[in-house]
Chain A
């Protein structure tokens, strides 16, 4: 029998809420070190050019300038898992972000002034901005470090398949094919990028005050670039003002800052202003998806064939590996007998894409769910019914060999179908001008980490002091998602101590044990399991002593209210007293333990098959919109969101993830696009890059579904990415439903809507 939970499942304000609302949180921009200099980066003026000469002599003479570096001054390796990205560019520039030189100066103003004094001669060249052009035989090779695996301009090709395609085609009563266009979206983190580098030439150690979401991979990547030993690099994460995947890669400004610190012998800080943040941070992949899907006469799906061209930009980031996630959606979201999937990340002279919450899944889900609506229309079948008929189920072993040990897909669909039925009010407005529609979409995502690195684990060290206070040293990172609060709640639950007696230390690679990083919605799941393992070990020290003191058996003990209790006798003893007895009386030990957890998931094989996650998350959304046929504006009226979260750990934190994610999905659906023309970014400001505002946000009805997955802590699964993933698809389906037009691209701007209406009539 599951014991009654006292902390888990109850709303808990975030542990870092106080410092954040009071302005005491130390973000990257707030770091000040003695003698610190300020760095600034000179970026190219043209997306594509030969660098004829770089003259820094005038800048060097400016009073207050301490160091200037160009590619010629440094001995470094390339960045990126494809090793195709030089931190400072030599000989040529390939996209508008490219770093040519960097300055460290006494003040930020002097550093910026110095940039203006650096004289660069360019030989401007034509670029390739369309990935389809880049694939042609006569296209120039865009990235000189390209691996040439399939084509000189393909950074990373992926191919996956399962099932008997021909057989399934023969079974199909209807087949639809569509081409979908997905735009660049940027993370728009509230805190722009920032780093402070401090190099000591006494012990040759480098300390980085960084905003990375993957500190241990970052340490390794930084070491590779700088040709240092990783252990000589200490990464201290500042409070991070938004990650959303943008901080999964290391970008050139980071090693550049370290190089400036090494050269100048003083700490150096580089921060972006908002415009630089828009220009120089990564984006969601722009891609074109060709999807063909089939259905039999009863409405059962038969096959999917997807061919995807991703605009990689000039260099490769982790974002090029989004096909790992996308192929799961094509192969396994809804029961799927056969699937063929190809995706190529194609080099162009555009700004490079990165990883972004959802990791390709919003794009894939958009294509799959639009196709489903088209199939339902061909069949004349209800759009809710066709989804229910094909929903994933518990015990399903998919063509890609994912194992759904728990599955709330069908429940989620039923919840939102029911929910939207209740909020829908018909004919309450002039139907001539305003048209209403409903759209459905589901999502499947990893919910128990994702084994794509050699390890997907997390270490925890616990320390309980003589006063019964607990320090959790976790390898995992907090980027605002609320994982440290959830960890605190778990410890409070298990040890029966108040949350105010718990501290979470999670920011220093010199102290914390290894963890792969915040991504794949994994932290509460993986770090939570790691913590629970550590608490078990802590109890192997606490319980024998407590049992001895209470003169009872270990399995008669209960941890509650700051005490350890005998259930039989009702007698109790304060936990800090037990701690002191262990320390001072015997066995003369400290309450310090460590534990490492590695999820039971497997690596995918070379054909990308295998159960790569410890658990899977499912969700469904039903969205009601109203389209103004006079202006093309789409107003979202109600969003119904049901998600299989395994188990609700902190309803407050969960609510924040759900609402934030849904709103991000609305931006992707309706207003957000980083516009790039001939390699130049047209809208690098909040004025022209349109995030949704509070006035645009509808009622969000959230229905958590608890399937209690035994792999997760208390049955929980990952939740962070899911709420964003189906939103754009559901909105597109709703708009199409409202006005009877095909919606094949995002964002669904008023102009596109009006254009579609005018094409129709």
Chain B
């Protein structure tokens, strides 16, 4: 595994490095926890890794609390996400997903942008962001910026909507500041309690008014389809219902709706049967 590394610090330098590598083989790298494994498996010849890690633009590397949204730079690490108080309080699903990712060492370097751009169906933070209906802000090497809803960002197994010379700059997450309660969390199933790749995952973020009505629901599932899936019919099913009145038959109906989005495969980690069974069980469990 041999490659050159370029480490731009400013956006201008970044654009220059990208321009200089046109027609050549290059990849972006942030925490490199996915990239290095990929390159070890399939070494690429004459490769340059454009290391985004030194970029000093706050839009890439900070967490901003705006009115009605939280904006997280693509280079923000899982560790920083877990220590952010707003995220802990307002977006538990993201906090829990980041906290259950890999191990302490990996969380120290793994970025949220890398988790999205890798586009793994087992991506934990990515799954939370789908439940949260985040928007992806994409910067092009010509300086232009476009925004894509996260649902459109994933286009297939390990495929994204990013074009050549495009970089993910940040994700924007809507936050409801009206004082509504949230029922929000991330359930990750695997064989061990850390250093685990999700065998099935479920992200849920449900907003409930003071008088118990569900106003908004976001449910996403991981590792059970080629991409992370947003279970919109399950979300619609919940909207308008009284939260405290969801009993076992409702939660099973809800779980059945979620299952419609799953098309799991059998692999070395688990069978399709197991994945469906568990997805159903953990789906209903969020109301228990």
Chain A residues proximal to chain B, CB less than 8 Å: 430, 433, 630-633, 670-671, 675, 682-683, 687-688, 690, 692-696, 749-751, 754-755, 758
When A675-B268, A682-B268 are in contact, do A695 and B281 touch as well, CB less than 8 Å? Answer: no
Interface mask (B237-276 → A, CB under 8 Å = 1, otherwise 0): 0000000000000000000000000000000111100100
Cβ A671 vs Cβ B193 within 8 A: no
Interface of B is mostly: loop
Cβ A750 vs Cβ B192 within 8 A: no
* Min CB–CB distance B189 → chain A (angstroms): 5
When A683-B268, A751-B271, A754-B274 are in contact, do A690 and B192 touch as well, CB less than 8 Å? Answer: yes
* Min CB–CB distance A490 → chain B (angstroms): 40
When A631-B281, A675-B268, A688-B268 are in contact, do A693 and B194 touch as well, CB less than 8 Å? Answer: yes
Interface of A is mostly: loop
* Min CB–CB distance A148 → chain B (angstroms): 37
When A430-B288, A682-B268 are in contact, do A670 and B278 touch as well, CB less than 8 Å? Answer: no
> Please, which residues of chain B bring their CB within 8 A of the CB of A690?
191-192
Cβ A631 vs Cβ B192 within 8 A: no
When A630-B282, A631-B282 are in contact, do A751 and B193 touch as well, CB less than 8 Å? Answer: no
> Please, which residues of chain A bring their CB within 8 A of the CB of B191?
633, 670-671, 690, 749-750
> Please, which residues of chain B bring their CB within 8 A of the CB of A687?
197
Report the bound CA distance from A695 to B194 in whole Å: 6
Q: B187-230: which residues lie under 8 A (CB-CB) from chain A? A: 189, 191-195, 197, 199
> Is B285 in contact with chain A by the CB < 8 A criterion?
yes
Which listed residue, B194, B197, B270, touches A751 by the CB 8 Å rule?
B270
Which listed residue, A630, A670, A692, A694, touches B281 by the CB 8 Å rule?
A630
> Please, which residues of chain A bring their CB within 8 A of the CB of B288?
430, 433
Report the bound CA distance from A693 to B193 in whole Å: 7
Cβ A750 vs Cβ B281 within 8 A: no
> Is B103 in contact with chain A by the CB < 8 A criterion?
yes
Report the bound CA distance from A192 to B277 in whole Å: 39
Report the bound CA distance from A3 to B161 in whole Å: 79
> Please, which residues of chain A bring their CB within 8 A of the CB of B197?
687
> Please, which residues of chain A bring their CB within 8 A of the CB of B103?
693
> Please, which residues of chain B bring their CB within 8 A of the CB of A749?
191
Interchain Cβ contacts under 8 Å between A and B, 16 examples: A430-B288, A631-B278, A631-B281, A632-B274, A632-B278, A633-B191, A671-B191, A675-B268, A687-B197, A688-B268, A696-B194, A750-B189, A750-B270, A750-B274, A750-B278, A751-B274
Closest residue of chain A to B277 (Cβ to Cβ) is: A754
- Please provide the 10 A-B residue pairs with the shortest distance between their CB atoms, ordered closest to farther: A630-B281, A695-B193, A695-B194, A751-B274, A693-B194, A631-B189, A671-B191, A696-B193, A631-B278, A693-B195
> Please, which residues of chain B bring their CB within 8 A of the CB of A694?
194
Cβ A695 vs Cβ B278 within 8 A: no
Residue of A433, A631, A671, A696 with highest tally of chain B CB at under 10 A: A631
> Please, which residues of chain A bring their CB within 8 A of the CB of B282?
630-631
Report the bound CA distance from A539 to B271 in whole Å: 68
Report the bound CA distance from A630 to B268 in whole Å: 20
B interface bracket (residues with beta carbon within 8 Å of A): 20 to 34
Chain B residues proximal to chain A, CB less than 8 Å: 103, 189, 191-195, 197, 199, 268-271, 274, 277-278, 281-282, 285, 288
> Please, which residues of chain A bring their CB within 8 A of the CB of B271?
751
Closest residue of chain B to A432 (Cβ to Cβ) is: B288
* Min CB–CB distance A668 → chain B (angstroms): 13
Closest residue of chain B to A629 (Cβ to Cβ) is: B281
When A433-B285, A631-B278, A750-B274 are in contact, do A695 and B192 touch as well, CB less than 8 Å? Answer: yes
Report the bound CA distance from A559 to B288 in whole Å: 69
Report the bound CA distance from A404 to B44 in whole Å: 64
Report the bound CA distance from A749 to B189 in whole Å: 12
Report the bound CA distance from A675 to B194 in whole Å: 21
* Min CB–CB distance A306 → chain B (angstroms): 30
> Please, which residues of chain A bring their CB within 8 A of the CB of B192?
671, 690, 692-693, 695-696
Residue of B281, B282, B288 with highest tally of chain A CB at under 10 A: B281
Report the bound CA distance from A457 to B10 in whole Å: 70
Residue of A630, A633, A675, A750 with highest tally of chain B CB at under 10 A: A630
> Please, which residues of chain A bring their CB within 8 A of the CB of B274?
632, 750-751, 754-755
Cβ B268 vs Cβ A754 within 8 A: no
> Please, which residues of chain A bring their CB within 8 A of the CB of B268?
675, 682-683, 688
> Please, which residues of chain B bring their CB within 8 A of the CB of A696?
192-194
Report the bound CA distance from A127 to B250 in whole Å: 53
Q: Identify 12 new A-B residue pairs, CB closer than 8 A, beyond the known A630-B285, A631-B278, A751-B274.
A: A430-B288, A630-B282, A631-B282, A633-B191, A671-B191, A693-B193, A695-B193, A695-B194, A696-B193, A696-B194, A754-B277, A758-B277
* Min CB–CB distance B251 → chain A (angstroms): 12
* Min CB–CB distance A365 → chain B (angstroms): 23
